[in-house]
Each structure stands twice: as C-alpha cells, then as structure tokens.
C-alpha cells in the first residue's frame, strides 16, 4: 500500500472514529451511530455501490445487521463519509477505534 493510500485510509478511519466518540471530561460517550441516535439522513457519502443491496450509506455504522455496510461506489482514495452530529462538538483524542473493511465488487488492496 502506497504512502498516499495509507494517509487517506488513516484519515477516513480517524474521521469515522471521531464521529463515533466524543471526549468529555476524561471519558468518552457515544455519539449515536451504533444506537440509532444519529439517523440515516445524517449520514452522507461521496458515492455508494448500488449494485449490491447490502451496500447503502445508511449502513455506515459498526455492527450493521446481516453484513450490511456502506460500500464506496468507486475504488478511489478520495471516498468519504460525512456524519452530521446535529450539534457543535469537539471530537478527538480517541483511545481506540474499529476499522471494518468490506470489499464488494473490488479486489482487496
């Protein structure tokens, strides 16, 4: 994997982790992606693979049902997710996060 690809992958992972956790007074609290507090309309993506019904922007959450997930519509480094938290929040300083990689229609890189 090239340096540029690693940087983009790391950036996307960090942004997703930032959307999942918010730092408050030394402890983190969930922002609602797993619980459903962040609703489907609050999640946007640069593209979505439409040929697979298990791929949809609304499935861009950890532990989705029956293997459903967001799958980028194009194999490009610049694919992204945007999570509208609905409030002004400072996110950062994550202790750990989960990266889920699902490759549908594209060879694994």
Question: Domains in the chain and their CATH numbers?
Answer: 3-83 (2.60.120.260)
Q: What is the three-state SS of 9-65?
A: HHHHHHHHHHHHEEEECCEEEECCCCCCCCCHHHEEECCCCCCCCCECHHHCCCCCH
Q: Which residue has the tokens 């959307």?
A: 19
Q: By the 8 A CB rule, do 45 and 82 touch?
A: yes
pLDDT in tens, 48-72: 999 988 889 988 887 777 888 888 8
Per the model's pLDDT, the better-predicted residue between 105 and 56 turns out to be 56
Confidence check: pLDDT of 33 > 60: yes
């Amino acid at each position: 994997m090239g340096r540029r690809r690693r940087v983009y992958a790391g950036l996307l992972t960090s942004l997703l982790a930032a959307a999942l956790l918010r730092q408050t007074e030394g402890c983190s609290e969930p922002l609602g992606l797993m619980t459903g507090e962040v609703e489907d309309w609050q999640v946007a993506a640069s593209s979505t693979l439409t040929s697979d019904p298990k791929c949809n922007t609304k499935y861009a959450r950890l532990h989705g049902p029956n293997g459903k997930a967001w799958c980028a519509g194009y194999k490009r480094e610049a694919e992204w997710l945007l999570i509208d938290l609905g409030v002004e929040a400072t996110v950062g300083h994550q202790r750990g996060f989960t990266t889920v990689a699902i490759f549908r229609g594209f060879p694994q890189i």
